[in-house]
């Protein structure tokens, strides 16, 4: 692969291994700080909104890794296409609640209620992190409302960190927003922010010097419309193409060539 050609120790744009330093130095920083405020100050919840490819999932995964620890029980679930009974099973599994495959919704609710009550006696707080909350079925919302009411009745301390596509926000149930006192919007990156991200990602992966020229970084961001997901994909494909052409660095011409070849319609899908 291209890593050896550029003298890299790892892929700089693999979201599964996004280095913490890169997260702290990117435009994610403010969103992360505001969502962390919810947990650290025991506020009810926060809603992270952004368009597809804006980095919502990346932020949630980083938050989940950061806030899990002693006296804190955390569940990270994706609600895309999830219906009610499956949601309860996902919660029980994420919280390591022992259940059988034959467990019915009433049984699952009872187990979750006992879990909430137990967290109070153990002095634990609970954090529920839900990605794609706009993609869950209506009965998932009803189960979330039940969970909120049950937490109030048992005295459990539950924080809700949600993420949803900004374009779907108006179609979402108002009940979901009632759980979230803080709204956090992920805005498209500026050219300077994109340059900082690319430079930091390359250095973290082991690059000894600049590979993307400033003009190339700006061009990537323009074509990606400031969205981190498409930006990272185009950057990685450009590294691969430039290595194949035995280039010393990546210029706007390289970016345009890769873009026109892979996206002839001029649309970089997120």
Give the tens place of pLDDT for each residue, 178-207: 999 899 998 888 999 889 889 988 998 999
Q: What is the H or E stretch that residue 202 is in?
A: helix 191-204
Q: Which of 10-14, 99-103, 146-150, 198-202 has the highest mean pLDDT?
A: 146-150
**pLDDT value of position 204:** 87
* Mean pLDDT score, 120-141: 92
Q: What residue ranges define each of the domains in the chain, with the CATH number in brackets?
A: 28-185 (3.40.50.300), 189-262 (1.10.8)
CB 45 within 8 A of CB 180: yes
Question: Could you tell me whether strands 45-50 and 158-165 are parallel, antiparallel, or unpaired per DSSP bridges?
Answer: parallel
**pLDDT value of position 147:** 95
The string of pLDDT tens digits covering residues 3-45 is 999 999 988 887 655 555 556 656 688 899 999 999 999 898 9
* Mean pLDDT score, 92-99: 87
Nearest-angstrom CA–CA distance, 229 and 225: 10
The string of pLDDT tens digits covering residues 217-258 is 999 999 999 988 889 899 999 999 999 999 999 999 999 999
Burial 109-119 (b: 16+ CB within 10 A, else e): bebbbebbbeb
**pLDDT value of position 99:** 77
**pLDDT value of position 151:** 95
**pLDDT value of position 234:** 93
> Exposed, middle or buried: residue 257 (CB in 10 Å: 0-12, 13-18, 19+)?
middle
Q: What is the mean pLDDT of the chain?
A: 88
- pTM of the predicted model, to two decimals? 0.83
């Amino acid at each position: 692969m291209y890593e050896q050609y550029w003298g890299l120790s790892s892929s700089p744009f693999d979201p599964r291994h996004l280095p913490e330093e890169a997260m702290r130095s990117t435009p994610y920083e403010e969103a992360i700080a505001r969502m962390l405020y919810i947990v650290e100050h025991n506020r009810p919840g926060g809603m992270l909104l952004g368009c597809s490819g804006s980095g919502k999932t990346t932020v949630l995964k980083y938050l989940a890794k950061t806030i899990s620890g002693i006296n804190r029980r955390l569940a990270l679930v994706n609600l895309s296409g999830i219906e009610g009974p499956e949601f309860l099973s996902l919660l029980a599994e994420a919280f390591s609640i022992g259940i059988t495959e034959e467990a019915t919704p009433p049984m699952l609710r009872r187990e979750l209620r006992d879990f909430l009550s137990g967290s109070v006696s153990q002095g634990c707080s609970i954090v529920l992190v839900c990605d794609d909350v706009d993609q869950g079925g209506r009965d998932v919302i009803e189960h979330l409302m039940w969970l909120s009411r049950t937490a109030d009745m048992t005295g459990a301390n539950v924080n809700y960190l949600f993420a949803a596509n900004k374009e779907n926000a108006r179609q979402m149930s108002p009940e979901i927003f009632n759980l979230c006192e803080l709204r956090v919007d992920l805005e498209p990156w500026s050219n300077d922010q994109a340059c900082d991200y690319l430079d930091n990602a390359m250095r973290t992966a082991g690059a000894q010097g600049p590979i993307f020229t400033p003009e190339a970084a700006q061009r990537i961001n323009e074509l990606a419309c400031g969205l981190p997901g498409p930006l990272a994909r185009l950057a990685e494909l450009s590294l691969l193409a430039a290595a194949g052409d035995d280039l010393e660095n990546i210029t706007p011409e390289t970016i345009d060539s890769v873009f026109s070849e892979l996206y002839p319609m001029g649309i970089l899908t997120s």
